[in-house]
Amino acid sequence: MNEYFANFSKRCILSLVGCAIALAAIGCTGIEKAPPRPRSARVDKSKFKIDAPQVMRGTVASQAILDGYRPVVVHGYGVIVGLNGTGSRDLPPDVRSYMIQECTRNGVGQESSGYGQVSPERFLDSMDTAVVIVEALIPPGASEGTHFDVRVIAHPLTSTTSLEGGRLYTADLRPALGRRFPPTGSRQASAIARARGDIFINPFAEPGATSRDTIERRGGRILDGGILTKDINLKLRLATPNHAAVSYMQQAINTRFPQEHNQRKKTAHGESDESIEINVPPSYHDSTEEFIQLLMHTSIRQVRPESIAGTIKRHLLAHPSTAIAASWRWQAIGPRALPVIQDLYDYPEELPRLAALRAAARLNDPYAAPHLIDMAEKGSGDVRLQAMALLADMGSNPLIDRTLHKLLNDEDVEIRLAAYEGLLNRGGRFIDRISVDGKFTIDVIASDKPMLYVTQIGRPRLAVFGPDLKISQPIFASAWSNRFIVKDLDDETLEVYYRSPNSQKGSITKASPNLYEFLFFLGHTSTVTDPRPGLGFSYGEAMGLIHQIWRQGYLKADFKAEQDRILAAIMRQRRDISEDLRPEFVDRNAEGNQSPLQENQPDDVSELQLLDPVTLGQEIDQHVPRKPRTPK
């Protein structure tokens, strides 16, 4: 019995010890703790490290990254109307079903839409309509109401032969989210933009193609045809969450970019200890990329700016490769940096000199103008173009205007084009502008070097270098399978024959051989209030005809076209978009809404969406102008 109690006592003691250990593990309060939450397998994006170079120390970019800074690729399906029997009725079943719903939603079958006598099914079955894929690239941080160019291409599984002369019926555009083809399911990302307008068909053929028509008519673009219907938000995300850091950063940004009179919210608004909402000021709505650069290069400590500018200067002279960052930092500091950098305007080394002059031009320092003018006139190669671009950004200065006007006669074609764009950016002095029924404009430039320059981006525009430039005579030129013929009657008059595609009978009209008058004649529609003769062609049709006349040797001048940059930019964004999908754009039902075309499409078919005639080659050189900046 004693042995039994001894063993029992030992068991009790061991049990008490076990209980004591368990209680200690729970805690002295005796309150049961909740089981730990399972850890998410997702990467915690709130934790990251920024390794800023020395020249960027103390800036917004040294402590935060910017969400939403990438351009947004948007796309959607749309319908081209007004074709001359070159459309198609064949469509994949899922796309057809989706487009019937969209046509119904957009008023097809209703009198108010102009298509009240036809059902959506008959509307899509017409050979005068074509379903197209519409896509565009929206600038980072763009605000509601921003206009942009749009690309369209006939659906690759249809038999549409041409979009020429057509017009895009209003189409909704949604974030692409890495997809090549727009989805057709009921649940999609929200529409953030719309597109509509006349199709501009690239009128330029492949190099060396002089005996056959090589124009790609299944694709085109709508210049300035898209409009953003929802702001693209920007947010700063701090690497190390800290309320004090957010407060300092918010104050620095609002000091550098104070709230403007038509700005609804302050530029920076702290949301938490790691996030700051950024609102682009109205004066930067047309230049959001510039605003973002200035924002990220802004100093967080807004004290002793001259000292900061001096530190940047010393670092630049020791490390010239940091010239671009140094220039942006001076621009972000503002005019108080100018006295520090003025002695660099004639610095012997090119990189520090250009960094200082770039900042000075953006800050409109008149002392920089003579140095930039000297570089524009006597520099070499790309340095001249850089100097001219900087001069174009500066404020009112007659000396700059006269310099750019003189460079309109330069031997280098690129210099002449840069001079024209610079003058246009500065208000259009020395340029006569003619509007053609609001469809496109003709700029007439006084120059001894004859040239015709056409735009393919933004507002449709032609530039005629030489007010006396004429179509050569004698002439007999034809286009569009002889539906358009031009020949000369005498030295001052051309005879133009034109027959529309749906007509059996043509008309004959007289026109001037002067190039800008002839271009006006092509685009103008005669009315009671303006009875001047004209054929009423679209911008793309007028460009196609004048290009045919030039190819046939009846226009003795250079023919230049602005480079189309939409395709290249969209393709670049497609490579990156899947790496960092924005949460507000994510398609919540992506897997369930893919069409058969998306799932099992061969590469050679899916790539057709990205096919652009411009990339196939042009007979003409290309020029990339700078977009005019809105004065700050």
Three-state SS string across 253-300, please?
Answer: HHHHCCCCCCCCCCCEEECCCCEEEECCCHHHCCCHHHHHHHHHCCEC
pLDDT tens across 89-118, in order? 888 898 998 888 888 887 787 766 566 678
Would residue 577 count as lying in a domain? Answer: yes
pLDDT band, very low/low/confident/very high, at 521 (cuts 50, 70, 90): very high
Q: What pLDDT, on the 0 to 100 scale, is given for residue 533?
A: 95
160 and 263 both lie in a single domain: no
Query: Could you tell me which of 16, 182, 274, 279 has the C-alpha nearest to residue 590?
Result: 182
397 and 482 both lie in a single domain: no
Would residue 513 count as lying in a domain? Answer: yes
* 337-365 mean pLDDT: 95
Helices 398-406 & 369-378 angle (0-180, nearest 10): 0
Would residue 385 count as lying in a domain? Answer: yes
Residue ranges making up the domain that contains 310 = 305-431
Q: What pLDDT, on the 0 to 100 scale, is given for residue 47?
A: 62
200 and 330 both lie in a single domain: no
The domain spanning residue 343 has which CATH number? 1.25.10.10
Q: Which residues pair with 463 in a beta bridge?
A: 443, 453
Would residue 603 count as lying in a domain? Answer: no
84 and 149 both lie in a single domain: yes
- pLDDT score of 59 more than 90: yes
pLDDT tens across 406-464, in order? 999 999 998 999 999 999 999 988 999 999 999 899 999 999 999 999 888 888 899 99
Domains of the chain: total: 4
d(CA 215, CA 548): 11
Mark which of 278, 296, 314 sits at the end of a domain.
296
Q: For residue 30, give the DSSP letter.
A: -
205 and 279 both lie in a single domain: no
279 and 367 both lie in a single domain: no
228 and 241 both lie in a single domain: no
The encoded tokens of residue 257 equal: 């970019």
Would residue 22 count as lying in a domain? Answer: no
Q: Which residues pair with 238 in a beta bridge?
A: 64
Q: What pLDDT, on the 0 to 100 scale, is given for residue 188?
A: 77
Would residue 477 count as lying in a domain? Answer: yes
Q: Provide CB contacts within 8 A for 363, sequence distance 6+.
A: 330, 331, 334, 335, 337, 338
**Phi, psi torsion values for 590, nearest 5 degrees:** -60, -45
Mark which of 431, 459, 492 sits at the end of a domain.
431
d(CA 360, CA 410): 26
Would residue 43 count as lying in a domain? Answer: no
Q: What pLDDT, on the 0 to 100 scale, is given for residue 207?
A: 34
Q: What pLDDT, on the 0 to 100 scale, is given for residue 203?
A: 64
pLDDT band, very low/low/confident/very high, at 610 (cuts 50, 70, 90): very low
157 and 242 both lie in a single domain: no
pLDDT tens across 302-349, in order? 889 999 999 999 999 999 999 999 999 999 999 999 999 999 999 999
Would residue 618 count as lying in a domain? Answer: no
83 and 226 both lie in a single domain: yes
285 and 380 both lie in a single domain: no
- pLDDT score of 567 more than 70: no
598 close to 179: Cβ distance less than 8 angstroms: yes
88 and 201 both lie in a single domain: yes
280 and 141 both lie in a single domain: no
Strand 64-67, strand 484-490: pairing: unpaired
626 close to 389: Cβ distance less than 8 angstroms: yes
